[in-house]
Structure 1
Amino acid sequence: MSYFINVILPIPLDKEFTYSINKKEADFLHPGMRVAVQFGKSKIYAALVTKVHQIAPSVYEAKEIEHILDESPIVTLQQLDLWSWIAKYYLCTTGEVMRAALPGAFLLESETTIQRNDSSVFDESLLKDDEFLIYEALQYQSLLRIQEIMNIVGKKNVLPVIKRLLEKQVITVQEEIYEQYKPKTVRFVRLHADYSQEEALRGLLDTMSRSPKQREVLMHLFTMQAQQTKPIKFSELLKTSKSSSSTLKSLVDKGVLQEYYKQRDRVQYEGEVAIETKELNQFQSKAFEEIKVSFVHKDVCLFHGVTSSGKTEVYVKLIKEAISEDKQVLYLLPEIALTTQLITRLQEYFGEKLSVYHSKYSVNERVEVWNNVRTKKSKAQVIIGARSAIFLPFVDLGLIVVDEEHENTFKQYDPAPRYHARDTAIVLAKMFQAKVVLGSATPSLETAYNAEQGKYAIAKLTRRYGDVLMPEINLVDIKTKYKKKQMTGHFSDTLLLAIREALQEGEQVILFQNRRGYSPVVECNTCGHSPQCPNCDVSLTFHNYRNQLRCHYCGYHMAMLLQCMACSSTELSTKGFGTEQIEKELQELLPDHTVGRMDQDTTRGKHGYERIINRFEQGEIDVLVGTQMLSKGLDFRNVSLVGIMNADNLLNFPDFRAHERSYQLMQQVAGRAGRTKKRGMVLIQTYNPFHQILQQVSVNDYAGMYADQIEERYLYKYPPFYKIIKVTGKHKDYNKVNEAMNWLAKSYRNIFKEYVLGPEFPPISRIRNQYHKNLVLKIPQGQSLQKTKEAIKKIHTTFSGIKEFSGVRIILNVDNY
């Protein structure tokens, strides 16, 4: 009898593939385990088993698997269901979801290795120089990987060389698959069991009289054993005894000491755990009870609490309840910067029960968290992470907290799957009958609408913790200030005075500018030419600290110009400003104070955020300049003033969400001010102080903003009333992408009529040498989503068969928030 398995491959193909296995393998394999399989001519992948069965494929003959990679499933059945939902809803393939969901160490792919062909006889003198280099290297090494060959030959394209060597039968080629994850082991030492008796030990010490160094190591070992009950690390004994590793090694070789290894997680929490959480005030207690009561009838509750109202303490109470029922908890955050501060706070309450999962952690660290969640270890009962934490293999999920749920960073834009972590969290919770809390001071219009319609429950917290007043928000008209010559650089006299007063009082200041770099445009004063990116339709941004011009889309960079590229004039000036320029101006205006900057350039590396946030919290930085990273829920006790350098950048953006996002961003940045007893102040610099959104921000009028925006959305047929699918075509040939998107638009209009907008080139139509053209499909309420997506798939299947459009890449972005 024949046995087969269906597998998912980590490549963008729509279907599962069938491979044959024997009876023994069929008994051993379960869905969620990985097997190494050959796909295509020679490539080997780690594929994921979804089904064990006895039905042979009808179209092709099933290949045999190479070997089994796991002893037990690394992926749960709920995860497979979630992957399937994501692939269907967000119009992508399960292989793409698998690639996004699994830590890189699980996504094994084979690597081509080259070996010497000992059975062949040939003339060495016929080898070309680059061929001989490889042949010579194989005399000393049994096999070479492609990367090693690139280094030996000194060029990237080595395939022609390998091909020539194969034809001359000098080498053989093999595909090798290897594990990337290696558990971390710690080396310990102890006295050999033979010397556990006092007599044997005395005899040993007598023989050691000729080896004073070794005797000293032993004496230190006895002292350490007397002082601590924990096993003694090899490195600790070396450090304490101040001896060399060769001395310790000779003691091990003699059989006096015994060394042994223990597996250990890479991320450890060491510290005291607070026994009790803070006492909730009456408003927090009321909100907590409202959430608890709402969970009886509804699975999702919107927690609308103003900035600094103490939402985190309410979350902590909810998490404690879930833990007491032995459930797992997922705490999602939009930004890694936020996890840094929150980890410290939550570790005080949950200690070792807390694990962190996001992209700044290494592959090995993520594998350890993955395994701990899957085996439901106590050290991974509460998971705090960015959007990718949604893919962890939960076993018994009880609660999901989505903090700052309005943030657009919860949406994945590239590559596929282009999922929204908030919406996916709600689907995941449903699979476990778990509850979801969506927390925000400025909820997204979709969430607020769902709460208004009764789909979600709602709990409100309208008072700041400790009865601190909401910050006073003032608008500064910089158009008038420029006319009256009351500007110093990019600072109005009002903002400068407020900064100086705050610093005199020993308080801290946050300045917000949503653009990094020094200046977005460098312009020639003689001819008006500005340097452009050769790969994208954008001007290059000047970064002063590296003296470079950089493209923020493709990473292209060049040294700052000394003269104009067009007319050779040396009169170059910068237009516009970014965080770097604000930082430099402040350093000149406030020479006695420390100015810090927090943006993508200063927060590289795992601990980049942590360092800046800790320095600011400890008062080492007086003024912190930053991009929108600063706006997301960070809690700084000593900030009394927040300045928004230019509000108009946010408002004048070609997007139907621009006004909602501007309100949220400004309100969130404003929320960083005055979080203790003293009332904070927020100054917003703008050329248009009478703008409706700015007026609403200045009086904290969320209800007014919501009413205006929801009416506009209804009138112009946008979410939450209509769903949106954005279709983007990409190709390096302008005409090809143009024709392809026109054909697609025509096909869409045949079915969806007036609900198709476009196609149009976006404001930045060329990125990384690829032209982009978009069309938007609106799906009204009541229209079947499933049938709409089926129709889209049919159109795209026809499209992919048209020869003239080959090479045009089509990207589908569902719910393009």
Structure 2
Amino acid sequence: MLYARVAVKYPGKEGILTYSQGEFELQTGDLVSVPLGRRETQGCVLEANLAHEQVQKEIEGFKIKDVVELFDRDLSLSVSEISLYRWMAKYYHYNLGMIIFESLPKILKRPRKIELQRGEGRALEHQMSSLQQAAYDSISKRGDHFDRYYIHGVTGSGKTLIYLNLIRDTLSKGKSVLFLLPEINLTPQFTETFLNFVDCPVLAYHSGVSNSEKFTIWKKLKEADGPVIVMGVRSSVFLPMKDLGLVVVDEEHDNSFKQSDRCPYNGRDVAIKKAQIANCPVILGSATPSVENYHAFKQTDRYFTLKERVAGSFPEIELLDARRGGRKITEGELDIWPFEQKSIDLIQGALDSGEQVLVFVNRLGFANYVQCRSCGHKFEDPNTGVALRYFKNRNVLSSAHSEYEIPMPEMCPDCGNMSLLQKGYGTERLQEVLEARFSDRRIDRFDRDEIKNLDQLKDKLDRFHSGDIDILVGTQMLSKGHNFSKVNLVLILGVDSMMNFPDFRAIEKTYQTITQILGRAGRYSKKAKVAIQTLVPENGIFHTIKEHSFDGFYEDEMQIREFAEFPPYSKLAVIHFSSRFREKVVQNSMAVARALEDFISKNSLDVQVLGPAPASIEKRANQYTWTILLKGKNVNHLHGLLNFFESQYIRVSGISYKIDVDPYHTL
């Protein structure tokens, strides 16, 4: 009898189990169905054809069950794929079998056939600038082995042209390319670019692709006998690519690369590991690098800067002081709130000149919350305790953190008062004000409430490009990568709330968002303006943005990070504990914190334990969550502490935990 060790799709520590191979001749990487208790689940074979003496100790005293089914061997994982998943399981402290089957497309018996799009391979007509050429030459001359490169280029500086030349070189050698983007809304323009200028199949992979199409793409890549380009969001990093020759991660700073549910991996960092396993170069690019990568690359010869735009010019930055200085708001100002009169005048001027306008705000909806004017009652999500947002168009109060939604009440449920106060604002409120003020113009929204799929996204962008929309009100999803020829005015609202968010990355994220938004103006003109409404125009972040100081923000931010010992001067991990019972989860997390501190003391580890503390949204989906933040300068000490926790933690009924390494949010 032969045995196999199998990574089982099972959310517990005991993720690797031993089975009898039964009637099957198994190989490492085979995907199988195996019994688990009274049910069946999926598994991946890690070792096969083991003799009894090789597994004797681990199976002694157990009744060993047989593998039930072997899936199509065309789907089996390669050694390099398994290596990537093993690294993830170790680094992110997550069950190996769960990672594998959460990352793979759903296995289907009869997938729908799809036609692959193939690029036309046209000649490149545009010439590289001296800075572009220098970056391209330096990267291309260093060979095809693994190394990391960074292209830090202002918006409109031509990073894509460098990518495209390196991609074409890679394809000419018969090797494939993985091109990662942070969000689905960037895929249409890159799809068009690749289909024009490369001569190979181009596969797009994102949430707009059906399960059947994903499964077919997976199978076709397994069978591929030539180079391909895979372009997609973070999950495309798991697709099986033969002869991988280049990995590109565009907009590497974007937090969309970080998965929040299930295994909280960062697609950018997994892509770097994938390139290392494939022994091929990886290129990271952004106009606004993450502070950690700026620190890592700045002083190296693998960091390339593009400080000038290829076409157009940098927009003028104007700060609009929104402070009232104690004076009362006039009736006319109330009509246009939250806009300042100066903002309305700028919009009018742009429209009169035949131009289009972009208006940004970082919130959806009409109002941030609704409150009774009489007794002060707030309408909250019962699952989270967070205020409900008001959506006027649908006349509902809706939660940002659960599926909870109710019709807009006509009166206060506590006191019966019929006067309900709407506070704050979002995209819907801005659209209504603009429609009232510019009634002869076409105003539309670009946010996740309006756009639910890729077709809607393409339609909205096409209408704006064609001039069918005069003013587009959008959230951050419109700030990334889009080029608009008739936009020379961009108005930004709501930055103060971004800067005041209780997170050490708040200023960095604000800087990145504003700088990315600046990139939407002035690409085709010498005269463009970005106006920012703010209550704190003297904040230093605006100085670096206004002066287009390429390194100014990072130099200031690095000093603060070093003083506070936050990344890149330390590594972070968070342990989240959740339970329906608040007292239970508080007591458990406090006990764990004490045990961790004791282990640190006995082993002289360079790690701090901060907390436990309630999560920023303590109650979600009827579960209370408390967190312990771990901060250490020595990454091995940090992982050693997490290993100790996992090995010693005794699971308590009704309490679950989750580890997040390199978290984007610490609360």
- TM-score interval, smaller chain: over 0.9
Q: Is the 8 Å Cα contact of residues 481 and 492 (structure 1) preserved in structure 2? A: no
State yes or no: 1:463 paired with 2:308.
yes
| Partner residue of 2:44 out of 35, 44, 48 | 48
Q: CA offset at residue 386 of structure 1?
A: 0.3
Look up the SS of the partner of 1:288 in the other structure: helix
Q: 1:268 to 1:413 in 2, by over 3 A?
A: same
CA distance in structure 2 between the aligned counterparts of 1:791 and 1:776, rounded to whole angstroms: 15
CA distance in structure 2 between the aligned counterparts of 1:538 and 1:553, rounded to whole angstroms: 8
Q: CA offset at residue 273 of structure 1?
A: 5.0
Correspondences of 1:144-543 after superposition (within 5 Å): 180-184=108-112, 264-265=113-114, 267-269=115-117, 274-293=122-141, 299-350=147-198, 353-378=201-226, 381-415=228-262, 417-454=263-300, 457-466=302-311, 468-480=312-324, 483=327, 485=330, 487=333, 488-543=336-391
CA distance in structure 2 between the aligned counterparts of 1:71 and 1:472, rounded to whole angstroms: 59
Look up the SS of the partner of 1:672 in the other structure: coil
Partner in structure 2 of residue 781 of structure 1:
634
Partner in structure 2 of residue 627 of structure 1:
475
Look up the SS of the partner of 1:587 in the other structure: helix
CA distance in structure 2 between the aligned counterparts of 1:556 and 1:369, rounded to whole angstroms: 36
Partner in structure 1 of residue 663 of structure 2:
816
In the TM superposition, what whole-angstrom CA distance separates every residue of 1:641-697 from its partner, at most 9, and x where no partner exists? 111112101100100100111101111011111111333210010011111112222
Q: CA offset at residue 453 of structure 1?
A: 4.8
Q: Is the 8 Å Cα contact of residues 277 and 317 (structure 1) preserved in structure 2? A: no
Percent sequence identity over matched residues?
Answer: 33
Q: 1:313 to 1:742 in 2, by over 3 A?
A: same
Partner in structure 2 of residue 686 of structure 1:
534
| Partner residue of 1:38 out of 3, 12, 35 | 35
Q: CA offset at residue 271 of structure 1?
A: 8.1
Which stretch of the first structure deviates more once superposed, 677-686 or 10-19?
A: 10-19
Q: Is the 8 Å Cα contact of residues 32 and 49 (structure 1) preserved in structure 2? A: yes
Q: 1:341 to 1:181 in 2, by over 3 A?
A: farther
State yes or no: 1:755 paired with 2:645.
no
State yes or no: 1:66 paired with 2:68.
yes
Look up the SS of the partner of 2:277 in the other structure: helix
- Partner letter of residue 110 of structure 2? K
- Partner letter of residue 39 of structure 1? L
Partner in structure 1 of residue 18 of structure 2:
18
Q: Is the 8 Å Cα contact of residues 524 and 571 (structure 1) preserved in structure 2? A: yes
Correspondences of 1:599-618 after superposition (within 5 Å): 599-618=447-466
Partner in structure 2 of residue 647 of structure 1:
495
Q: Is the 8 Å Cα contact of residues 667 and 700 (structure 1) preserved in structure 2? A: no
Q: 1:782 to 1:567 in 2, by over 3 A?
A: closer
Q: Is the 8 Å Cα contact of residues 35 and 69 (structure 1) preserved in structure 2? A: yes
In the TM superposition, what whole-angstrom CA distance separates every residue of 1:28-72 from its partner, at most 9, and x where no partner exists? x3222222222111x122322222122344232321222322133
Q: Is the 8 Å Cα contact of residues 721 and 781 (structure 1) preserved in structure 2? A: no
Partner in structure 1 of residue 604 of structure 2:
none
CA distance in structure 2 between the aligned counterparts of 1:287 and 1:726, rounded to whole angstroms: 38
CA distance in structure 1 between the aligned counterparts of 2:225 and 2:10, rounded to whole angstroms: 32
- Partner letter of residue 77 of structure 2? V
CA distance in structure 1 between the aligned counterparts of 2:70 and 2:657, rounded to whole angstroms: 35
Q: Is the 8 Å Cα contact of residues 727 and 812 (structure 1) preserved in structure 2? A: yes
Look up the SS of the partner of 1:390 in the other structure: helix
Q: Which has the higher helix share?
A: 1
Look up the SS of the partner of 2:231 in the other structure: strand
Look up the SS of the partner of 2:4 in the other structure: strand
Look up the SS of the partner of 2:246 in the other structure: strand
Partner in structure 2 of residue 7 of structure 1:
6
- Partner letter of residue 34 of structure 1? L
In the TM superposition, what whole-angstrom CA distance separates every residue of 1:706-729 from its partner, at most 9, and x where no partner exists? 112111111111111110011111
CA distance in structure 2 between the aligned counterparts of 1:402 and 1:499, rounded to whole angstroms: 36
Q: Is the 8 Å Cα contact of residues 111 and 215 (structure 2) preserved in structure 1? A: no
For these two proteins, the number of residue pairs brought into alignment is: 648
* TM-score normalised per structure 2: 0.93
CA distance in structure 2 between the aligned counterparts of 1:400 and 1:759, rounded to whole angstroms: 39
Partner in structure 1 of residue 409 of structure 2:
561
- Partner letter of residue 159 of structure 2? K
In the TM superposition, what whole-angstrom CA distance separates every residue of 1:596-618 from its partner, at most 9, and x where no partner exists? 21111112134222221222222
In the TM superposition, what whole-angstrom CA distance separates every residue of 1:389-432 from its partner, at most 9, and x where no partner exists? 110111211111100011111111112x1111111111110111
- Partner letter of residue 6 of structure 1? R
Look up the SS of the partner of 1:72 in the other structure: helix
Correspondences of 1:654-693 after superposition (within 5 Å): 654-693=502-541
Q: Look at both structures and tell me which one has the larger radius of gyration over its CA atoms.
A: 1
Correspondences of 1:710-789 after superposition (within 5 Å): 710-752=558-600, 755-781=608-634, 783-789=636-642
In the TM superposition, what whole-angstrom CA distance separates every residue of 1:156-191 from its partner, at most 9, and x where no partner exists? xxxxxxxxxxxxxxxxxxxxxxxx34243xxxxxxx
Q: CA offset at residue 89 of structure 1?
A: 0.2
Look up the SS of the partner of 2:161 in the other structure: helix
Partner in structure 2 of residue 546 of structure 1:
394
State yes or no: 1:807 paired with 2:617.
no
Look up the SS of the partner of 1:52 in the other structure: strand
* TM-score normalised per structure 1: 0.76
In the TM superposition, what whole-angstrom CA distance separates every residue of 1:262-311 from its partner, at most 9, and x where no partner exists? xx42x543885533353323332233223334668971111000001111
- Partner letter of residue 78 of structure 1? S
CA distance in structure 2 between the aligned counterparts of 1:657 and 1:795, rounded to whole angstroms: 32
Partner in structure 2 of residue 82 of structure 1:
84
Q: Is the 8 Å Cα contact of residues 307 and 550 (structure 2) preserved in structure 1? A: no
Q: Is the 8 Å Cα contact of residues 277 and 349 (structure 1) preserved in structure 2? A: no
Q: Any stretches of 5+ residues in structure 2 without a counterpart?
A: 602-606
Q: Is the 8 Å Cα contact of residues 442 and 702 (structure 1) preserved in structure 2? A: no
Look up the SS of the partner of 2:663 in the other structure: coil
- Partner letter of residue 757 of structure 1? L
* Larger RCO (CA under 8 A, 6+ residues apart): 2
Q: Is the 8 Å Cα contact of residues 327 and 396 (structure 1) preserved in structure 2? A: yes
Q: Is the 8 Å Cα contact of residues 291 and 459 (structure 1) preserved in structure 2? A: no
State yes or no: 1:94 paired with 2:86.
no
CA distance in structure 2 between the aligned counterparts of 1:420 and 1:495, rounded to whole angstroms: 38
